[in-house]
Amino acid sequence: MGAGKTTAIQAVSEIDVVSTEASNSERHLVDKPTTTVALDYGEILVDGEEKIRLYGIPGQRRFDFMWAILKRRAQGMVLLVNNDAPDPVAEMLAYLDDFRELYDRGGVVVGISRSDIAPEPDLATYADAIALAHAGKVVPVFTVDPRNNDDMRMVLLALIANIEMRALFATVERDAI
């Protein structure tokens, strides 16, 4: 919570983002008046026929039933991590485990928000943690400002580039089995 996912979708969506929020019952943990309790929804129209649907899903584990639905249908995920959280690296690793299927097909990019306020851990620390936990697979990790259109567009493009490239290599591995 508080990493900026609603803001991030607003930065790239070409429609008004549909947000479902309620009062934040964990104000002692994250000081914001509201928080996402269902979904944020946005869209990017790629061409006349195809849309990229953007879903912002809550990070609290009591909503993990929602994760299962999106895991089956999503092509990729931008995991936003708040760098001034108590243990952001452990948080990231836990989410990567929860979304292992997406991760395995290259469908994860990690965006570290608030690194201007909390410069540590640095990106190398995140990359080292991923390498230790998941040897051989490289996950793009960037510092991001969720309010910045350019940042969020870049993250989206990196996600898609990584998914497509992983698929090219995976196709060969699959055929070789």
Partner 1 sequence: MATEWNQAGEDSAAGTDEISATAITSEPPTTAGWEQAAVAMNSVLQLSIPMLMKMEFDAHDPLFIDFRYRAFAWSTPLSAFPEDAVLAGLQTQPTDLEAGLLFDLPGQPLDGLLWLIGLNSFHGARAPWLAPNERYKLSRWPNLTQHRHTMRQMQMLAVLGNAYVSAGELADMAGVDNSEAQSLINALSLLRILNRSVQAPAAVVAAPQATKRESLFSRLRARLGR
CA–CA separation, 7 and 147 (whole Å): 6
Task: Report whether the peptide linkage leading into residue 146 is cis, meaning its omega lies within 30 degrees of zero.
Answer: no
Nearer to partner 1, 38 or 127 (CB): 127
Indicate whether 177 belongs to the interface with partner 1 (CB under 8 A): no
Q: Which residue has the tokens 């026929």?
A: 49
Binding mask 129-158 for partner 1 (x = CB under 8 A): --x------x-xxxxxx--x-xx-xxxxxx
Nearer to partner 1, 1 or 123 (CB): 123
Indicate whether 47 belongs to the interface with partner 1 (CB under 8 A): yes
Indicate whether 164 belongs to the interface with partner 1 (CB under 8 A): yes
Contact present, 8 and 25 (Cβ < 8 Å): no
* Buried-exposed string 96-113: b where 16+ CB fall within 10 A, e elsewhere: bebbeebbeebbbbbbbb
Residues in contact with partner 1, total (CB under 8 A)?
39
Helices (H), the chain: 5-12, 64-73, 88-98, 100-104, 123-133, 149-176
Least CB distance to partner 1 at residue 172 (A)? 5
User: Contact positions toward partner 1, by CB under 8 A?
Assistant: 44-47, 50, 52, 106, 119, 123-124, 127, 131, 138, 140-145, 148, 150-151, 153-158, 160-162, 164-166, 168-169, 171-172, 175
